[in-house]
Amino acid sequence: MRPWKLTMQAFGSYGKKTTIDFADPNQNLFLITGDTGAGKTTIFDAIVFAIYGEASSGSNKKDGFELQSQFAEYTVDPYVELTFSEMSGGDEQFYRVRRTPRHLRPLKRGNGQKEEKEQVSLIMPDGTEYVQKETERKLEELIGLTKDQFMQVGMIAQGEFMELLRAKSDQKKLIFRKLFHTEVYQDIVDELGRRRKEMQSAMAQMRTACQTEIAHTTIPDDFDSSEEMEALKQRIISAEKMNVAELEGFQEYLKELCGILEMEQTKLCKIFEKAGRERDERRDAAIRGQTLEQSFIQKQQAEEILAQCAQQEEEFGRIRDLIRNIDAAYEIQNVHLRYEEAAERVKKMEEALETRRQRLPEEQARCERLSRETDAAKAEQELWQKKYEEAQLLVEETSEAADIWEQLRKEQRRAVGMQEEYAVVREQFQQKNIEYVSLHNAFLDEQAGVLAQEKLRPGEPCPVCGSLEHPHPRRISEKYHGLTRQMVDALKEETDRLQGTLTEKSTEAHAALELLREKEIQFEARVQKLHERMEKMAESENLRMVCQTTPVKLKEQKEFEDLRAAREALRRVQEIKEAKETAYVRSEREAQKAKSAREETEILIRQYTEQLPELQSEQSTCAEKYRRVLQEKAFLESLSEKGTDEHQITGGTWKWIVEHHRKSDVRELQQKLDYYNRRKASAEGTLEAARKLIGKQERPNIEELQRQMEESEVTFRSTRSAYERVKEELRVNQSVQNALMPKMEERGRLLKEYTRVDSLYNRLAGKITGARMDIETFVQRYYLDRILHHANARFFEMTAGQYELRMVSTENAGVGKNRGLDLMVYSNVTGKEREIRTLSGGESFMAALALALGMSDQIQESSASIHLDVMFIDEGFGSLDNNSRDQAVKVLQRMAGGSKLIGLISHVTELKQVIEDQLIVSKDEEGSKVRWQIS
């Protein structure tokens, strides 16, 4: 990468657009010089910002609003544009990147400011713009370095390259990790540490699991070694570390205890089984006795219930008959009710039909009458609608006439005003004209006096008449002394102006009178038209008085109170019209109601006529059904015919039952009957079953059987308790024994693996006393050795062969702490090494510069894709003496002898004499400016 052109605008201290062409200098080594704060460092800030979006060093980052120049208005867009080249396949390809920082700009509307986001654009060699979302990645790919690497190799910021020289090993390790990607070695150490921690956790879990299992062990008091085993158990449970010997001893005790418990379990099992068989036999005998006793009790109870049922048989027979009679009575009642409802419906429909037939003629007559009234109301409504429209036209025309009258009055006032103005101007003109004539004559007279005073001499001819005698020469009046031609001419101009104004006023007054006559003619025509319409409107009595007086007012008085009268007439017409409309709507609504009522009556007459035969047939059917059900239920008492269309059916027994019994009584009586039947049937079944179970057996002694069963139950429970206790102790202890065996084997495997990982971790992480250097530092010493190889070639030359940089020896690198990347300085004069901090300021600058140059060489060697043909070095030369400075410049000139562009940012005066090509930076109230001074 090689920069060719840099453009800045409203960026940092550069307010105005500033372009630096790096192709201008004749040499690759040039000096960027100027006063402190002039804006020298801002130049490579702009280069770094254009590529990476950040400026300056990592300790003083600048972006966004900090980069917007204070020397430019917010209306000026800040940006940086860098043109650079990259080698591709032996050809030089040119790229152009333009980046705008985050900044503020004025709002397009109103006051205030708006924040604009950062934007970046990359123009490729073929002139196309690269995809904006991928621009950042593409730029880093083209350069081949991250921003931090670029700052170390291509942009050595002011004082920053001194940090690497004096940094501790741990700090250098972080820097080298980014530059040479050695983080994989630290990842190995981290992974080993993670595995080591996991194994420690697994072993702790194993110890906890063993302690938990042992805590579950049950030790019987009658065991011979119970005290020793209990004490060992407590020590193991409370121990913070696992004791293998104690665990093995506890396992021996546990094995012996389990053997004893197994033999005792076998013995108790036999006793327990025998006691169980004896208990079951006595329990079965007691159950059989209880069953037989229950059968004797059930037989006795069943016999007692059947005796009671025999006594109640006659009563429940009557209940059965009553239930049948109640059901029959209510069935007859339902049929009778339907018959009565049918007869009632026939009667009501016959009455309704007769009523509707009587009302039909009256409704037809009312409908015809209301129809005629509606037609008349509609005609009235239409008539008054037309009158309302005519009244509206009358109001409009009256309003127009009033407008014309108002215009006529305005024209009259205007004409009078014009005449008055004409009279005023005429008076002014006459006075001014008289004054002018008088002054003009006086001026001529005064001219004669001047002529007589200056020209007339006795015996000399008069220049006017030629007379030689002058008996009465004109004398100059004191009144008009000092009168001049200019005064007379000014009065003449004023008189002419008034005459012109008089002519204009005369013309305007004449035009106003003509317009007034036209308006009067127009008004007379409008009044005549309005008079004709008034005569038509006067046909109505309500409007006759108003319409007859209006034309008189218009013609004689020429006042337009008649407009209010016309509007009053319109209001009256509107009221009458609305009243007629309301009457028409009301009449139409009444007519519609009458029509609907007539139609409804006609429909109902048809419906009743059609439905009446069906209802009469239904009545006959219900009557026949009622007779039939009375015959079926044996309740028919009388059936008499009444008339030819109706039968009166009466009944006595069923009505008495309905009056004295509710229908719900059937449910209550049926429940009593069902209960009686169920009780009798259950007693008969129980008696039969009891007799079969008893057979020929005698009644048992229940108390004796119960006593024997309870004794066997006590014996069974005591043997079962002893057996289950031993069985549970054996189960728990065997479970502990079975769980401990695999855990002990797993612990041995974990311990072996942990020992191996722990040893490897401590070695690679530098955790061993006397060997504190970790593996990443060890690998980085390889890169540092190559860096020092390149650096010492420059440092040796800069110091005239006096010094070279060395790493701390391998033997001392891990003593006390990690010092694997610490630097020492070796003196070829004394043959001794010493700490790098002992160098003077100038020596430190040369050592740091040599180290930075060596690092640049190493980074480019380690990455074949990186072609960095630029380096900026910011300050530091002020600390060198003349000889050291000359040596450092020679080294840089040798580097610049190839294709690398090297810029030194410094204000040291001596460098100006050594380096001829200079970029001079200055600053004034408008911001920073640059200019090339070429050799």
Return the pLDDT at 557: 41
Return the pLDDT at 144: 78
* CA angle, 489 then 493 then 498, to 5°: 145
Residues contacting residue 747 through CB under 8 Å, at least 6 positions apart: 203, 206, 210, 242
Please name the helix (run of DSSP H) or strand (run of DSSP E) that holds residue 670, with its range, or none: helix 665-694
Q: Is residue 162 within 8 Å of 171, Cβ to Cβ?
A: no
**Average pLDDT, rounded, for the chain:** 79
Res 635 pLDDT > 60: no
In 3D, which of 126, 63, 62, 66 has the Cα closest to residue 96?
Answer: 126
Tens of pLDDT, residue by residue over 854-889, are 877 777 676 555 677 788 887 666 666 677 677 777
Q: Could you tell me what percent of the chain has a pLDDT over 70?
A: 87
Q: Is residue 666 within 8 Å of 327, Cβ to Cβ?
A: yes
Q: Provide the pLDDT confidence category of residue 544 given band limits of 50, 70 and 90.
A: very low
Return the pLDDT at 927: 92
How many residues comprise the chain? Answer: 935
Q: Which tokens belong to 482? A: 């000092």
Mean pLDDT over 557-566 rounds to 55
Alpha carbon dihedral 806, 812, 817, 819, in 10-degree steps, equals 10
What is the spatial distance between Cα 929 and Cα 37, in angstroms, rounded to a whole number?
12
In 3D, which of 853, 736, 787 has the Cα closest to residue 215?
Answer: 736
Q: Which tokens belong to 131? A: 């995809």
Return the pLDDT at 68: 85
For residue 143, CA distances in Å to 86, 147, 149, 913 come to 8, 10, 10, 34
Res 651 pLDDT > 50: no
Res 305 pLDDT > 90: no
Higher-pLDDT residue of 929 and 186 is 929
Return the pLDDT at 157: 62
Question: Residue 465 in 3-state DSSP?
Answer: coil
Q: Provide the pLDDT confidence category of residue 575 given band limits of 50, 70 and 90.
A: confident
What are the two backbone dihedrals, phi and then psi, of residue 920, each rounded to the nearest 5 degrees? -95, 125
Q: Could you tell me what percent of the chain has a pLDDT over 90?
A: 7
Max mean pLDDT among 101-105, 373-377, 736-740 falls in 101-105
Q: Is residue 649 within 8 Å of 626, Cβ to Cβ?
A: yes
Tens of pLDDT, residue by residue over 663-694, are 778 788 888 888 888 888 888 888 888 888 88
Higher-pLDDT residue of 72 and 860 is 72
Tens of pLDDT, residue by residue over 478-513, are 666 667 778 878 888 888 888 888 788 778 777 877
Max mean pLDDT among 603-617, 624-638, 853-867, 878-892 falls in 603-617
Question: Residue 406 in 3-state DSSP?
Answer: helix
* CA angle, 521 then 525 then 531, to 5°: 140
Which amino acid is residue 578, in one-letter code? E
Return the pLDDT at 50: 92
Q: Provide the pLDDT confidence category of residue 563 given band limits of 50, 70 and 90.
A: low
Q: How many beta carbons lie within 10 A of that of residue 719, not counting itself?
A: 20
Q: Provide the pLDDT confidence category of residue 64 given band limits of 50, 70 and 90.
A: low
Q: How many beta carbons lie within 10 A of that of residue 293, not counting itself?
A: 15
Res 892 pLDDT > 80: no
Residue 887: exposed, middle, or buried by beta-carbon count in 10 A (0-12, 13-18, 19+)? buried
Q: How many beta carbons lie within 10 A of that of residue 241, not counting itself?
A: 7
Mean pLDDT over 588-611 rounds to 82
DSSP code per residue over 682-701: HHHHHHHHHHHHHTTPPPP-
DSSP code per residue over 859-897: HHHH-TT----EEEEES-GGGS-HHHHHHHHHHHHHHHT
The lowest-confidence range among 71-80, 240-249, 810-819 is 240-249
Q: What DSSP state is assigned to residue 217?
A: -
The lowest-confidence range among 99-113, 249-263, 550-564 is 550-564
Return the pLDDT at 283: 86
Res 639 pLDDT > 70: no
For residue 790, CA distances in Å to 179, 305, 820 come to 16, 126, 19
Q: Provide the pLDDT confidence category of residue 477 given band limits of 50, 70 and 90.
A: low
